[in-house]
Amino acid sequence: MNMSRAARTVLLGVLIAAVAAALAYLCTMRLCSRQMAADDLSWLKREFRLGDAEMQRVQRLHEGYMPKCRDMCARIAEKQGELEKALEKGEAPDAKLMELATLRAQCQAQMLRHFEEVSQAMPPEQGKRYLIEMRKLTLGFHQDFERSMGDIPASGHGHADR
């Protein structure tokens, strides 16, 4: 293809401009994104406009909660393993399922207690908002899922009588 000198200049110019713009866009996007999610609690500080003293209290509560959460996760994983073994052996899984459900419920209850404590470490209005937001983000998923199960038509997997 025979391209004129002007066309080649324009093409090269557009290419350089596009590369420079793309680099600038990607670099600032990464930088800002990384800056925003610097650590586990950076969102809390910004979203609920917490001061340094409030942030220290929240940090202490968070650090106190983490080992309990990890311990609960380990117990649930262990119980899950026991359930799988029982299923492999052909044993009735009822008892293991109950124990697993109990552990999951205890884990959720512990998490909700933690949310309560954190909300109390915040100014009242922000604490209320935090509690609503966290319940929606954590329990809301299960509630939506369970609610959607009721919407499945009788011909499907649903249990609702229609």
Partner 1 sequence: MSEDVKQSGDEKLERLVRAARPSVELPPGFQSSVWRRIEEGQMPAVGILERLAGWFLTPRLATAGLAALVILAAGAGAVHGMRTGEREARDRYVASVDPSYSHR
Q: How far is the CB of 121 from partner 1 (least distance, A)?
A: 14
Using DSSP, state whether 49 is helix, strand or coil: coil
Contact window for partner 1 (CB under 8 A) among 60-68, 78-86, 87-95, 148-156: 60-68
Tell which one of 21, 95, 152, 160 touches partner 1 (CB under 8 A): 21
Contact status: 114 vs partner 1 (CB under 8 A): yes
Contact window for partner 1 (CB under 8 A) among 12-20, 91-99, 119-127, 148-156: 12-20
Contact status: 48 vs partner 1 (CB under 8 A): no
Determine the Cα–Cα distance for residues 100 and 108; give it in Å rounded to an integer. 12
Phi, psi of 161 (to 5 degrees): -85, 120
**Token couple for 115:** 């949310």
Q: Which residue has the tokens 């609610």?
A: 147
Contact status: 74 vs partner 1 (CB under 8 A): no
Determine the Cα–Cα distance for residues 145 and 12; give it in Å rounded to an integer. 54
Tell which one of 2, 35, 153, 159 touches partner 1 (CB under 8 A): 35
**Token couple for 94:** 């009822």
Helix 94-120 to helix 124-151 angle (10° resolution) is 150
Q: Which residues of this chain interact with partner 1, rule CB under 8 A?
A: 4-7, 9-10, 12-13, 16-17, 20-22, 24-44, 46-47, 62, 65-66, 69, 73, 111, 114-115, 134, 137-138, 141
